[in-house]
Amino acid sequence: MIDTLLLEKRFSYLGKNRGHASFQLDDLRQHYNLPDYQAHSAASDALGCAELFLAQVKRLKLCHRPLTDVIYKPC
């Protein structure tokens, strides 16, 4: 399982958050220019997280970083 909130916080730690301050799903979706969905509905939240994850992966590719560099913490 991948946590999109944790992934975004790691982007922030790496200096890649591009100025957003909130880590709420709706705010992150807006930051990535994704469409609005009804909040707090299981189905729409799941779809919203999936689309957010795809947007995050796209950003990683633009930064030429593998997903594993951000997902796994070094021991």
Domain count, the chain: 1
pTM, full prediction: 0.76
For residue 64, what are its two tokens?
A: 């030429």
**pLDDT score for 1:** 77
Find the domain containing 12 and state its range: 4-71
Alpha carbons within 13 angstroms on the beta-carbon side of residue 43 total 0
**In this structure, are residues 7 and 23 in contact, taking their beta carbons and an 8 Å threshold?**
no
Type and span of the H or E element at 27: helix 25-31
Residues in the chain where the model's pLDDT stays below 50: 74-75
